[in-house]
Structure 1
Amino acid sequence: MKEGENVLDPQLWHACVGGMVQMPKVNSKVFYFPQGHAEHAHTTIDLRVPPHILCNVEAVKFMVDPKTDEVFAKLSLVPLRNSELGPDAEGGADVAEASEKPASFAKTLMKSDANNGGRFSVSRYCAETIFPRLDYSAEPPVQKVVAKDVQGETWRF
């Protein structure tokens, strides 16, 4: 990691972007579309460049912009030559299978949550399936949750 890069935990990154986003795994094959890249860079592209290039994913970094909290990903791609395509090259890219969706819970905290001694209520389903087990040695039983936000700040509930 370079100095100043804000890399996120992959599960936190996926929780921020939502369940509809799927990222390729390292060593999977993907297509790179240079024309789309050129359009975003507001530049022109050499017409001799093919419309899509099959590449191998060398690295994936899950990032966050510290000023805006916007999450994004950096992918390192290496173009594949015809000899590196493998036997299934005609069928298209070997796109990585979707990773298992992490369990997640979202709640907009209200003033009443902040004024409740660091406590907030969740549904029983979430309490039993997502959060840590209840500590029955406390009266009343409690669940202690430690969460880290995209800025790296730790929050204890």
Structure 2
Amino acid sequence: MKEGEKSLDPQLWHACAGGMVQMPSVNTKVFYFPQGHAEHAQSNVDFGDSFRIPPLILCRVGSVKFLADPETDEVFSKITLIPLRNSELENEDSDGFDGNASENSEKPSSFAKTLTQSDANNGGGFSVPRYCAETIFPRLDYSAEPPVQTVIAKDVHGEVIL
């Protein structure tokens, strides 16, 4: 993998990408549209008349990498596609793309709070509902007075946010 292509946690990636994004699982079948891909290329792609490019190619997903742009933090993915031969097509079950795959996976627990001026002036601490404190955040350290929880926040690249 190239420098800057550190794969992200899939749950974090999906949280950043949004609920409308669905990704195929490894080994599922998908269609690849080469002419549509060429239309989005940065340079002019000419298929020419020397050979016929089919409008779609049935492929198996070989790998899925969840990535984020190091400059903008925009999430994207790299998917390896393996074209299937005609002989492979006849012997395969039709186990196409499962659009509900992400719905079946366990959803991460999350908590969101818009910080207020009083939170900012609280010496670096803020209050959360007890349920969230007990189920989402690290265990409360009762040996400290008052009891505290230390939360380490990381960005999409895994860097600690101070």
Contact 1:24 1:57 in 2 (8 A): yes
Aligned residue in 1 for 2:73: 69
Cα distance in structure 2, aligned partners of 1:36 and 1:114? 49
- TM (norm. structure 2) is 0.75
Aligned to 1:93: 96
Aligned pairs, number: 154
Tell me the SS of whatever aligns to 1:23.
coil
Task: Return the offset for 1:75.
Answer: 0.6
Q: How large is the Cα RMSD of the aligned pairs?
A: 2.7
Quote the residue 1:56 is aligned against.
60
Partner of 1:35: 35
Which residue of the partner structure matches residue 113 of structure 2?
107
What TM-score results when the alignment is normalised by the length of structure 1? 0.77
Give the deviation of 1:145 after TM superposition: 1.3
Q: Which residue of 2 aligns with 1:141?
A: 147
In structure 1, stretches of 5+ residues that fail to align are: none
Q: CA deviation at 1:94?
A: 4.5
Residue 60 of structure 2: SS of its match in structure 1?
A: strand
* Distance verdict in 2 for CA 1:69–1:16, change over 3 Å: same
Decide whether the 8 Å contact of 1:35 with 1:45 is kept in 2.
no
Secondary structure of 1:38's match? helix
The structure that has the greater radius of gyration is 2
Distance, in Å, in 2 between the alignment partners of 1:16 and 1:128 is: 24
Specify whether residues 53 and 108 from structure 1 end up closer, same or farther in structure 2 by C-alpha distance, changes over 3 A only: farther
Q: Distance in 1 between matches of 2:62 and 2:131?
A: 39
Percent identical across equivalent pairs? Answer: 71
5+ unaligned residues in a row in structure 2: which ranges? Answer: none
Residue type matched to 1:80 in 2? L
